[in-house]
């Protein structure tokens, strides 16, 4: 099982700001960068006051090439 750790405020703000600015990986043009950051920071403060704890997994290990099949020539 993957060990979780509390997410930092910066990680949460970055994730929320990204969600406010993008739909998947497509940029939402009406979402201003500064407004997304302000909104993310206000959401974080509210979640903290409400007693929420957000957890984060460690980064996934890079893929290995050990399982790849040899290419047919």
The string of pLDDT tens digits covering residues 32-66 is 788 888 888 999 999 988 998 888 888 888 887 76
In a domain, 40, yes or no: yes
14 lies in some domain: yes
Number of structural domains (the chain) is: 1
Residue 20 has pLDDT above 70, yes or no: yes
Q: In Å, what is the CA distance from 21 to each residue of 5, 34, 38, 43, 70?
A: 26, 10, 12, 15, 41
Q: What pLDDT score does 1 carry?
A: 61
Does residue 17 register a pLDDT over 70?
Answer: yes
Query: Does 37 fall in a domain?
Result: yes
Flag whether 19 is in a domain. yes
Q: Is residue 38 part of a domain?
A: yes
Higher pLDDT, 23 or 3: 3
Domain range spanning residue 27?
Answer: 5-50
DSSP state of 29: T
45 within some domain: yes
In a domain, residue 70? The reply is no
Please determine, for residue 10, whether its predicted confidence score (pLDDT) is greater than 60: yes
- Note whether residue 39 is domain-resident: yes
């Amino acid at each position: 099982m993957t060990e979780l750790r509390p997410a930092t405020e910066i990680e949460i703000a970055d994730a929320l700001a990204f969600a406010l600015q993008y739909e998947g990986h497509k940029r939402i043009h009406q979402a201003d960068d500064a407004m997304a950051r302000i909104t993310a920071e206000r959401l974080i403060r509210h979640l903290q006051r409400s007693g929420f704890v957000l957890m984060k997994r460690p980064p996934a290990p890079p893929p290995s090439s050990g399982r790849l099949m040899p290419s047919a020539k």
